[in-house]
Amino acid sequence: MKELKHQRAAFTPPLRAGFTLIELLVVVIIVAVLAAVGVPLLSANVTRARGTEAETGLGTLRTALRAYGVENSAYTTTVANLNLTADDLRGQFYNLGAYTIKSADFAAKTFCIEADGSDSTAPGAAKVASIDRSMDQDGTITEALCP
């Protein structure tokens, strides 16, 4: 009997350290599923962040337009009349040329200003060609151009 136990031990394959192919495949599948879920979420955040630059510029224009209205008892429909410089609205994606005052009625205290990504000539303009924002007199922002 002692000889039999000794012989069995001699035929036992040595233990190997490492992972099996199945374990590696499971890990690869889990990583792929996480990437498939995470990448679209990340890209939506990038688009939203690019639109935020337009919203900031619209806020600057809204303030300038309201100040112009108080000083002149009228609104203008020309951004150039607001005495803004190119530096006031210089961004990575939107610049002064991307902003337009579409409607302005001082008597009714209403206006609509818009940022059209396809009109921008900023360095990153190609990335925002399809991103549009508009703002009314109350500061309400919509993800479309003025009606």
Give me the tens of pLDDT residue by residue for the chain, a chain 147 residues long.
Answer: 555 555 555 566 666 778 889 999 999 999 999 988 888 888 788 888 888 999 999 999 999 999 999 999 999 999 999 988 888 888 899 998 999 999 999 999 999 999 999 999 999 999 999 899 999 999 999 999 988
Number of CB atoms found within 10 A of residue 61's CB: 24
Specify whether the CB–CB gap between 103 and 63 falls below 8 A. no
- 2 inside domain: no
- 5 inside domain: no
- 28 inside domain: no
DSSP 131: -
- 113 inside domain: yes
3-state helix, strand and coil shares in percent for the chain, rounded to the nearest 5: 55, 15, 30
Domain count, the chain: 1
Beta-strand pair 99-105/110-116: antiparallel
Taking the C-alpha atoms of residue 77 and residue 80, their distance in angstroms, rounded to an integer, is 9
Specify whether the CB–CB gap between 61 and 55 falls below 8 A. no
Q: Is the pTM of this model over 0.85?
A: no
- 15 inside domain: no
Taking the C-alpha atoms of residue 112 and residue 99, their distance in angstroms, rounded to an integer, is 11
Q: What is the pLDDT of residue 18?
A: 81
Taking the C-alpha atoms of residue 94 and residue 57, their distance in angstroms, rounded to an integer, is 8
- 30 inside domain: no
Using alpha carbons, list the distances in angstroms from residue 97 to 70, 100, 105, 114.
Answer: 24, 8, 22, 11
Residue 71 belongs to domain spanning: 40-142
- 95 inside domain: yes
**Of 138, 146, 139, 49, the residue nearest 99 (C-alpha):** 146
**Of 106, 114, 103, 101, the residue nearest 141 (C-alpha):** 114
- 47 inside domain: yes
Q: What is the pLDDT of residue 13?
A: 64
